[in-house]
Structure 1
């Protein structure tokens, strides 16, 4: 097992945090490495030790949050049952808590993504993994609603508790029932 240097972790976290902070005010293409290094209070050589560009920082953040979500959802897939609303509630709540506990990575995925691949994959996949309705249009509408609620929650700095957001999603209709199995199937590679 490779031992991770705490200073390296701290430096990467500082770079990532400052990048997400800067993204609130400007486009990724307008953030120079010099500005980012000034904000993170590191020198450019330290930055280049870990990354080649600001876009790479964001890409790695996206990749990590997706990988961690996949790992969690693969574990949950073994016991997943769309009819067991209590299990779905617990599973979805854990996912929302993960997103809230990792705000920089979550913002990178939902608010400042390099591309819209995550959402596009969910929509394309919905036709193959329909769990709630036989209407592709209803399912697409529901998935979009669930994802937009999460994105809005992230944009509003996690202003609701994960429990409250979960409750709202359940009250809004079948978004919880549809979105969770789709995300699980997509991230576990089941087609």
Structure 2
């Protein structure tokens, strides 16, 4: 008899994404949180229904994007429930790009951590371009302003014309990079997703 891991073939139902969005709106706080709404993720909800993890399957490895999203007192339970579910399916469980605040939980449940990088977080309310250290940034901004470039913030929902213009920019950039969309933790151009996002664009006046 040959045994193999459970093969998962299904798609996320609309009510599941809506359920995840409701939790995310209340408890999402990382830069990766909204990427969990993109359609390349599956959802694992805690038994309490208060939190969720967004993951994808690569072979028999279930990779969660970032930390679970939900109230802090439910995170440990979800991580353990997800781990147990993976074991039953003969999957390896991985949490990718997690924040330091939950490392103790992962370690207590038998996970090992590997540092792969750091993320710069800027407090926009306190950020200033004043001072010698910001001289280069000021010069770049002023140079673009003199050339007639302006910044425009567009709030959702985005109209079809705006999405079309953004798609043209995205396609041209990909062509210049001789590459393709990276997906998962880096996102990609998904019109339905972007339609509900705030977009900041720089263009010639």
User: Where on the TM-score scale, by shorter chain, does this alignment land: which range?
Assistant: under 0.3
Structure with the larger RCO, 1 or 2 (CA within 8 Å, 6+ apart)? 1
Answer 1 or 2: which has greater helix percent.
Answer: 1
**TM-score where L is the length of structure 1:** 0.22
Radius of gyration: which is bigger? 2
